[in-house]
Amino acid sequence: MTNGERMRRGLPPKKPHFRRAAGTPPRPLLSRNGNEFGEYGYTTTRDDALTVTINNCTGSPFGIVSSNGYQAYSYIGGISGYANDSPDLRDGSSNYVYIGGVTETDPLATPQNIDNSFTAATEIQEAAESAIWSFRNGGDGLRAQWVNSDGSTPTNRLVYVPDEGVFVLVGDVAAFENAFGPVSEAVSSCCSLQLCSMRQY
C-alpha cells in the first residue's frame, strides 16, 4: 500500500526505507516544489529552484524566507523526521531532519510544535525550527545547525537521499545509512546548500 493510500485510510505513512546506492552528489539547488509530504527536494534547473530573502543576516543563526515556495510556511527550516525516536540529532542515532516549509522560530530555539509543510501534508505533528542557517566560510553557501531539545547544538551533516529526492540533516551518517541505506553528502565535511537567488536585507 502506498503512503497516499495509507493516509486516505487514516493510517500514518510507512517508515521511510531510503534504499538506493549512493550516486554522485548533486549540485544542490533546493526545488521550489515540495513533494507529497511537504519536504523540499532537489533540482538541477535554476527555473525550478527556490528564491529566498534573508531579512537579517547580521547575526547567526538566521531565518530564510522563500518567495516562491510554500506560501503558508514561508520559512525554509528543519522538520523532525517521522521515523525518529525524538527530535534530537546525536551520535549513534539514525534520527534525521527534513528540509521543508515552516513558520518562524527564534534563533537557537529548541524544536517547536509549529505549523509546517510536513504536518499540513500528512496531519502528523512533527517539531520544527526555522532559524537554523548561517553563511558558510567564504559566503558561497549556507550551513544548517539543528538545536536539540536540551538546547545543545549537535554536529550535523546535510545528506541527499536519492531514493526520496530530499535533503536531510543527520547527526550520524553511518547510523542513518545503517537504518535507511546509502546517501550522498551534499557537500563534503560541511552542511551547505546553494540557493538560486538570495536577497539580503
- What are the grid coordinates assigned to 43, written together? 533540482
pLDDT band per the 50, 70, 90 thresholds, residue 139:
low
Residue 179 DSSP code:
H
Q: How far apart are CA 47 and CA 54, in angstroms?
A: 20
The alpha-helical segments, DSSP class H, found in the chain are: 3-8, 117-122, 173-180
- What are the grid coordinates assigned to 3, written together? 503512503
Judge if the upstream peptide bond of residue 61 is cis by omega within 30 degrees of 0: yes
Lowest-pLDDT choice from 71-80, 107-116, 192-201: 192-201
**What is the percentage of the chain residues whose pLDDT exceeds 70?**
73
- What are the grid coordinates assigned to 183, written together? 546517501
Task: Specify the 3-state DSSP secondary structure of 135.
Answer: strand
Q: How far apart are CA 40 and CA 18, in angstroms?
A: 16
Task: Specify the 3-state DSSP secondary structure of 6.
Answer: helix
Q: Return the pLDDT at 190.
A: 33
Q: State the sign of the Cα–Cα–Cα–Cα dihedral 176, 179, 180, 184.
A: positive
- What are the grid coordinates assigned to 148, written together? 536539540
Task: Specify the 3-state DSSP secondary structure of 32.
Answer: strand
Classify 181 in phi/psi space as left (phi over 0), alpha (psi -120 to 50) or beta.
Answer: left
pTM for the model stands at: 0.80
pLDDT higher than threshold 70 for residue 5? no
CA end-to-end span of the chain, whole Å?
47
The larger pLDDT score, comparing residue 138 to residue 182, is at 182
Lowest-pLDDT choice from 79-88, 91-100, 104-113, 139-148: 139-148
pLDDT band per the 50, 70, 90 thresholds, residue 16:
low
pLDDT higher than threshold 50 for residue 196? no
* Per-state percent for the chain, helix, strand, coil, to nearest 5: 10, 30, 60
